[in-house]
């Protein structure tokens, strides 16, 4: 059989993903789940799924529908609840490339990463949004933990802009032989109008935490569960790197980086407490953790064999190892001078090496409420 060769286009998924066990081919106007959902626009795509804006004919409103690739579909089985993506429906769609798990949620805007790049002035999240979004992230994580759920994959790409008025932006549109590959590819919906809507009424704009593919239930009586996480390693807590221990304390560690990034401007302006390049090795992650926070406790320090390449036994950087300040300061545009000490004290509590001594998400949410005022 001749192998197909496709040309890739920036910002659009590769046609090579459309294969047996891969993406399901979707066209504008397609219907899914016995005609309930009508495909209107493309919202985005990832490694394991495409996401579409669809019209729900039962509830007569726009919702977001995520179609997982067939391979991934095989393995699918208080206060901050308003900041958690609302689940509406799920179903299995049979297509030429296999069985695809489809997940329907409320319609959302873009995420906090590349989508704000060309819209906000200075390529930074505006002050009024940054402060309220930081609080909402903390309260959203607190709500998950109150339900004994560990998110497991917190990062800017999983924090989504939302406004109740989003549905007003979309207009309905007025559909062939089943193919492994769609007849055409669809660019994602332009986000300029969405962000303008959000910017026009900050009081009605907030965030939603999404993508629970790495989430798990937590037994409050245990220290955590040992399992491998498939999420960005750059923000991994040390207990994940050394022991693959997953607990609510992991979310708090990662949230520390997320909050700092938001409150230092996001995008090109932002900085993380634990720095690093995408897809780093565990050695790189641990080196950056020690540079930022100091010596790892035993037995982790002794178990990290590569430490001698970067530090002496007092965790002083070796010659040629670039050091950074122990805690990167947030932007004064977002945190006033008199507030910075309070915020940095919270950050230190979120980056405690001992998961049991780390601040809980509830403590973080309570201590940062003043940010939204």
The owner of tokens 């919906």 is: 189
Q: Which residues pair with residue 160 across a beta bridge?
A: 111, 208
Q: What is the pTM of this model?
A: 0.71
Give the pLDDT band (50/70/90) at residue 5: low
Give the pLDDT band (50/70/90) at residue 173: very low
Give the pLDDT confidence score for residue 191 in this predicted structure.
Answer: 67
- CATH number of this structure's domain 1-77+85-107: 3.30.200.20
Q: What's the pLDDT tens digit per position in 316-336? A: 998 877 655 555 566 666 788
What is the average pLDDT score of the chain?
Answer: 82
Query: Per mean pLDDT, which range of 99-108, 171-180, 302-311 is the poorest?
Result: 171-180
- Considering the domain delimited by 109-174+189-273+327-372, tell me its CATH architecture: Orthogonal Bundle (1.10)
Q: What's the pLDDT tens digit per position in 286-322? A: 998 998 899 999 999 999 999 999 999 999 998 877 6
Give the mean pLDDT of 157-165.
82
Give the pLDDT confidence score for residue 237 in this predicted structure.
Answer: 94
pLDDT at 76 over 80: no
Phi-psi category of residue 35: left, alpha or beta, with phi > 0 → left and psi -120 to 50 → alpha: left
Strands (DSSP E) contained in the chain are 31-32, 37-45, 49-56, 61-68, 87-95, 98-106, 149-150, 159-162, 206-209, 216-217, 225-226, 245-246
Q: What's the pLDDT tens digit per position in 89-103? A: 889 999 999 999 898
Q: Which helix (H) or strand (E) is 133 found in, with range?
A: helix 127-146
Q: Where are the domains of the chain?
A: 1-77+85-107, 109-174+189-273+327-372
Q: Which residue has the higher pLDDT, 8 or 231?
A: 231
**C-alpha to C-alpha distance for 293 and 360, rounded to whole angstroms:** 19
């Amino acid at each position: 059989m001749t192998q197909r060769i496709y040309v890739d286009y920036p910002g659009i998924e590769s046609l090579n993903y459309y294969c047996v066990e891969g993406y399901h081919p979707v066209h504008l106007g397609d219907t899914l789940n016995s005609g309930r959902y009508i495909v209107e626009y493309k919202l985005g795509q990832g490694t394991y799924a495409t996401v579409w804006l669809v019209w729900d004919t039962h509830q007569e409103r726009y919702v977001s529908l995520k179609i997982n690739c067939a391979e991934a579909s095989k393995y699918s089985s208080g206060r901050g609840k308003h900041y958690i993506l609302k689940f509406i429906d799920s179903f299995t769609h049979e297509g030429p490339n296999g069985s695809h798990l489809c997940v329907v949620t409320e319609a959302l805007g873009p995420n906090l990463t590349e989508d704000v790049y060309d819209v906000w002035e200075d390529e930074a999240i505006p002050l009024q949004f940054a402060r309220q979004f930081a609080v909402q992230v903390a309260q959203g994580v607190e709500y998950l933990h109150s339900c004994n759920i560990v998110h497991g994959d917190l990062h800017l790409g999983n924090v989504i802009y939302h406004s109740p008025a989003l549905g007003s932006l979309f207009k309905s549109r007025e559909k062939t032989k089943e193919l492994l590959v769609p007849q055409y590819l669809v660019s994602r919906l332009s986000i300029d109008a969405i962000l303008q809507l959000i910017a026009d009424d900050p009081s009605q704009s907030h965030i939603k935490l999404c993508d629970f593919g790495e989430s798990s239930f937590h037994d409050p009586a245990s220290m955590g569960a040992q399992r491998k996480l498939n999420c960005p390693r750059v923000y991994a807590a040390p207990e994940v790197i050394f022991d693959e221990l997953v607990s609510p304390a992991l979310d708090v560690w990662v949230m520390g980086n997320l909050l700092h990034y938001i409150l230092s401007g996001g995008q090109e302006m932002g900085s993380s407490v634990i720095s690093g390049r995408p897809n780093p090795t565990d050695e790189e992650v641990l080196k950056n953790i020690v540079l930022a926070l100091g010596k790892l406790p035993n037995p982790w320090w002794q178990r990290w064999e590569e430490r001698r390449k970067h530090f002496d036994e007092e965790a002083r950087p070796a010659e040629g190892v670039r050091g950074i300040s122990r805690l990167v300061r947030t932007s004064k545009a977002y945190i006033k001078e008199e507030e910075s000490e309070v915020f940095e004290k919270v950050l230190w509590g979120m980056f405690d090496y001992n998961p049991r001594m780390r601040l809980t998400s509830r403590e973080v949410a309570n201590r940062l409420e003043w940010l939204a005022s």
